[in-house]
Amino acid sequence: MKYEVVLFDADDTLFDYSLAEAHALKSVFLEHQFELMQSHIDLYRIVNQQLWHDYEKGSVTLDFLRHERFRKLFSEIQLELDAVSFSERYVDYLGEGSFLIEGADELISKVLHNGHRIAIITNGIKRTQLNRIGRSSLAHSFEHIIISEDTGFSKPHIGIFDYAFDKLNMMDKAKVLIVGDSLTSDIQGGMNYGIDTCWFNPRRKPNETSVKPTYEIQQLSELLQLL
Protein backbone atom coordinates (compact mmCIF):
# COMPACT_ATOMS: atom_id res chain seq x y z
CA MET A 1 0.00 0.00 0.00
CA LYS A 2 1.65 3.23 -1.17
CA TYR A 3 -0.77 5.61 0.59
CA GLU A 4 -2.35 5.03 3.98
CA VAL A 5 -4.65 8.08 3.85
CA VAL A 6 -6.52 9.58 0.90
CA LEU A 7 -7.86 13.11 1.28
CA PHE A 8 -10.77 13.75 -1.08
CA ASP A 9 -12.09 17.11 -2.14
CA ALA A 10 -15.91 17.10 -2.16
CA ASP A 11 -17.28 19.36 -4.89
CA ASP A 12 -16.74 18.17 -8.46
CA THR A 13 -14.53 15.35 -7.19
CA LEU A 14 -17.00 13.04 -5.42
CA PHE A 15 -20.12 15.22 -5.55
CA ASP A 16 -21.59 16.87 -8.63
CA TYR A 17 -21.65 20.50 -7.59
CA SER A 18 -23.11 21.79 -10.86
CA LEU A 19 -26.25 19.70 -10.41
CA ALA A 20 -26.61 20.74 -6.77
CA GLU A 21 -26.07 24.39 -7.67
CA ALA A 22 -28.67 24.35 -10.47
CA HIS A 23 -31.18 22.62 -8.17
CA ALA A 24 -30.67 25.24 -5.46
CA LEU A 25 -30.86 28.22 -7.81
CA LYS A 26 -34.03 27.00 -9.51
CA SER A 27 -35.70 26.20 -6.19
CA VAL A 28 -35.01 29.51 -4.49
CA PHE A 29 -35.88 31.60 -7.56
CA LEU A 30 -39.13 29.65 -7.84
CA GLU A 31 -39.92 30.64 -4.24
CA HIS A 32 -39.62 34.26 -5.37
CA GLN A 33 -41.75 33.62 -8.47
CA PHE A 34 -38.93 34.62 -10.77
CA GLU A 35 -38.22 32.73 -13.97
CA LEU A 36 -34.62 31.57 -13.87
CA MET A 37 -32.92 31.42 -17.26
CA GLN A 38 -29.71 29.62 -18.24
CA SER A 39 -28.05 33.00 -18.75
CA HIS A 40 -28.70 33.79 -15.07
CA ILE A 41 -27.11 30.50 -14.00
CA ASP A 42 -24.09 31.15 -16.23
CA LEU A 43 -23.66 34.66 -14.82
CA TYR A 44 -24.00 33.42 -11.25
CA ARG A 45 -21.32 30.80 -11.84
CA ILE A 46 -18.87 33.41 -13.11
CA VAL A 47 -19.49 35.66 -10.10
CA ASN A 48 -19.38 32.75 -7.64
CA GLN A 49 -16.18 31.25 -9.05
CA GLN A 50 -14.35 34.57 -8.80
CA LEU A 51 -15.41 35.01 -5.18
CA TRP A 52 -14.29 31.46 -4.31
CA HIS A 53 -10.89 32.23 -5.85
CA ASP A 54 -10.75 35.35 -3.68
CA TYR A 55 -11.63 33.21 -0.67
CA GLU A 56 -8.82 30.76 -1.49
CA LYS A 57 -6.41 33.72 -1.52
CA GLY A 58 -7.75 34.93 1.81
CA SER A 59 -8.95 38.28 0.44
CA VAL A 60 -12.63 37.78 1.38
CA THR A 61 -14.42 35.97 4.20
CA LEU A 62 -16.87 33.12 3.75
CA ASP A 63 -19.76 35.20 5.10
CA PHE A 64 -18.98 37.97 2.63
CA LEU A 65 -18.80 35.47 -0.24
CA ARG A 66 -22.16 33.89 0.61
CA HIS A 67 -24.05 37.16 0.30
CA GLU A 68 -21.93 39.15 -2.14
CA ARG A 69 -22.41 36.66 -4.99
CA PHE A 70 -26.14 37.36 -4.92
CA ARG A 71 -25.74 41.12 -4.50
CA LYS A 72 -23.64 41.12 -7.66
CA LEU A 73 -26.02 38.84 -9.53
CA PHE A 74 -29.09 40.92 -8.62
CA SER A 75 -27.29 44.09 -9.64
CA GLU A 76 -26.40 42.61 -13.03
CA ILE A 77 -29.92 41.36 -13.80
CA GLN A 78 -31.60 44.38 -12.18
CA LEU A 79 -33.57 42.39 -9.62
CA GLU A 80 -34.54 43.89 -6.27
CA LEU A 81 -34.25 41.10 -3.71
CA ASP A 82 -32.59 40.88 -0.30
CA ALA A 83 -29.29 39.10 -0.91
CA VAL A 84 -28.86 37.93 2.70
CA SER A 85 -32.20 36.15 3.08
CA PHE A 86 -31.98 34.83 -0.47
CA SER A 87 -28.52 33.42 0.27
CA GLU A 88 -29.75 31.61 3.36
CA ARG A 89 -32.52 29.88 1.43
CA TYR A 90 -30.07 29.03 -1.35
CA VAL A 91 -27.73 27.36 1.16
CA ASP A 92 -30.67 25.33 2.49
CA TYR A 93 -31.51 24.05 -0.97
CA LEU A 94 -27.85 23.46 -1.82
CA GLY A 95 -27.66 21.12 1.15
CA GLU A 96 -30.26 18.90 -0.52
CA GLY A 97 -28.03 18.33 -3.56
CA SER A 98 -26.40 14.97 -2.83
CA PHE A 99 -25.62 14.12 -6.45
CA LEU A 100 -22.57 11.88 -6.83
CA ILE A 101 -20.02 11.99 -9.62
CA GLU A 102 -20.18 8.86 -11.78
CA GLY A 103 -18.14 6.08 -10.18
CA ALA A 104 -17.83 7.73 -6.74
CA ASP A 105 -19.78 5.03 -4.90
CA GLU A 106 -17.75 2.20 -6.43
CA LEU A 107 -14.45 3.97 -5.87
CA ILE A 108 -15.02 4.70 -2.19
CA SER A 109 -16.21 1.14 -1.58
CA LYS A 110 -13.06 -0.31 -3.15
CA VAL A 111 -10.70 2.15 -1.45
CA LEU A 112 -12.14 1.22 1.94
CA HIS A 113 -12.11 -2.49 1.10
CA ASN A 114 -8.41 -2.19 0.27
CA GLY A 115 -7.71 -0.82 3.75
CA HIS A 116 -7.08 2.85 3.09
CA ARG A 117 -8.22 5.56 5.47
CA ILE A 118 -10.21 8.35 3.83
CA ALA A 119 -11.33 11.86 4.74
CA ILE A 120 -13.00 14.82 3.08
CA ILE A 121 -11.14 18.15 2.95
CA THR A 122 -13.29 20.96 1.55
CA ASN A 123 -13.60 24.73 1.39
CA GLY A 124 -17.39 24.54 1.31
CA ILE A 125 -19.92 26.01 3.73
CA LYS A 126 -20.18 23.73 6.77
CA ARG A 127 -23.93 23.25 7.01
CA THR A 128 -24.23 22.74 3.26
CA GLN A 129 -21.44 20.18 3.05
CA LEU A 130 -22.58 18.20 6.09
CA ASN A 131 -26.13 18.06 4.76
CA ARG A 132 -25.08 16.99 1.27
CA ILE A 133 -22.65 14.34 2.48
CA GLY A 134 -25.06 13.16 5.19
CA ARG A 135 -27.87 12.62 2.68
CA SER A 136 -25.68 10.60 0.32
CA SER A 137 -24.75 6.93 0.20
CA LEU A 138 -21.23 7.96 1.28
CA ALA A 139 -22.46 9.41 4.57
CA HIS A 140 -20.62 6.97 6.86
CA SER A 141 -17.55 6.40 4.69
CA PHE A 142 -15.19 9.10 5.94
CA GLU A 143 -13.03 9.08 9.03
CA HIS A 144 -13.28 12.87 9.19
CA ILE A 145 -15.00 15.64 7.24
CA ILE A 146 -12.62 18.59 7.40
CA ILE A 147 -14.23 21.89 6.42
CA SER A 148 -12.45 25.23 6.08
CA GLU A 149 -15.09 26.93 8.23
CA ASP A 150 -14.00 24.77 11.18
CA THR A 151 -10.26 25.19 10.67
CA GLY A 152 -9.97 28.93 10.05
CA PHE A 153 -8.03 28.20 6.87
CA SER A 154 -9.02 27.39 3.29
CA LYS A 155 -7.17 25.32 0.72
CA PRO A 156 -4.47 25.93 -0.48
CA HIS A 157 -3.31 27.30 2.92
CA ILE A 158 -1.16 24.83 4.86
CA GLY A 159 -3.23 25.51 7.98
CA ILE A 160 -6.11 23.33 6.83
CA PHE A 161 -3.65 20.49 6.17
CA ASP A 162 -2.08 20.87 9.61
CA TYR A 163 -5.61 20.55 11.02
CA ALA A 164 -6.29 17.46 8.89
CA PHE A 165 -3.05 15.72 9.85
CA ASP A 166 -3.74 16.43 13.53
CA LYS A 167 -7.27 15.01 13.26
CA LEU A 168 -6.00 11.91 11.47
CA ASN A 169 -3.00 11.55 13.79
CA MET A 170 -0.72 11.36 10.75
CA MET A 171 2.97 12.21 10.74
CA ASP A 172 4.30 10.76 7.49
CA LYS A 173 3.45 13.03 4.55
CA ALA A 174 4.65 10.38 2.10
CA LYS A 175 1.71 8.20 3.11
CA VAL A 176 -0.97 10.79 2.24
CA LEU A 177 -2.48 11.64 -1.15
CA ILE A 178 -4.94 14.45 -1.92
CA VAL A 179 -7.42 14.03 -4.78
CA GLY A 180 -9.29 17.01 -6.22
CA ASP A 181 -10.48 18.83 -9.30
CA SER A 182 -8.99 22.27 -8.55
CA LEU A 183 -5.41 23.08 -9.47
CA THR A 184 -5.45 26.30 -7.44
CA SER A 185 -7.05 24.81 -4.33
CA ASP A 186 -6.49 21.04 -4.01
CA ILE A 187 -3.32 20.54 -6.02
CA GLN A 188 -1.60 23.77 -5.01
CA GLY A 189 -2.56 23.05 -1.41
CA GLY A 190 -1.04 19.58 -1.56
CA MET A 191 2.11 20.95 -3.14
CA ASN A 192 2.37 23.67 -0.48
CA TYR A 193 2.17 21.01 2.22
CA GLY A 194 4.55 18.56 0.59
CA ILE A 195 2.15 15.69 -0.10
CA ASP A 196 1.43 13.89 -3.36
CA THR A 197 -1.48 15.14 -5.43
CA CYS A 198 -3.93 13.68 -7.93
CA TRP A 199 -5.78 16.03 -10.28
CA PHE A 200 -9.23 14.76 -11.26
CA ASN A 201 -9.70 16.24 -14.74
CA PRO A 202 -12.66 14.54 -16.43
CA ARG A 203 -13.01 17.26 -19.07
CA ARG A 204 -9.33 16.99 -20.00
CA LYS A 205 -8.75 20.69 -19.46
CA PRO A 206 -5.25 21.79 -20.45
CA ASN A 207 -3.01 22.70 -17.53
CA GLU A 208 -1.52 26.05 -18.46
CA THR A 209 -0.36 26.86 -14.94
CA SER A 210 2.81 26.29 -12.95
CA VAL A 211 0.88 23.87 -10.70
CA LYS A 212 2.04 20.35 -11.51
CA PRO A 213 0.12 17.44 -9.93
CA THR A 214 1.85 14.17 -9.11
CA TYR A 215 -0.86 12.32 -11.03
CA GLU A 216 -3.76 13.15 -13.34
CA ILE A 217 -6.87 11.05 -13.92
CA GLN A 218 -9.97 11.47 -16.08
CA GLN A 219 -12.13 8.83 -14.37
CA LEU A 220 -12.38 8.14 -10.65
CA SER A 221 -11.75 4.43 -11.19
CA GLU A 222 -8.22 5.26 -12.39
CA LEU A 223 -7.30 6.28 -8.84
CA LEU A 224 -7.19 2.66 -7.68
CA GLN A 225 -4.07 1.99 -9.77
CA LEU A 226 -2.21 4.79 -7.94
CA LEU A 227 -2.88 3.74 -4.36
Q: Which residues pair with 122 in a beta bridge?
A: 147
* Calpha distance 171→31 (Å, rounded): 49
Count of beta carbons in the 10 Å neighbourhood of residue 87:
20
Kindly provide the b/e burial profile for residues 94-106, where b requires at least 16 CB atoms within 10 angstroms of the residue's own CB: bbebbbbbeebbe
Among candidate residues 9, 11, 16, 186, the one labeled active-site is 9
Listed in order, strand segments (DSSP E) in 65-187 are 117-122, 144-147, 176-180
Whether 42 is a known active-site residue: answer no
Query: Edge-to-edge strand order for the sheet containing 176-180?
Result: 144-147, 117-122, 5-8, 176-180, 196-200, 215-217
Question: What are the residue numbers of the active site?
Answer: 9
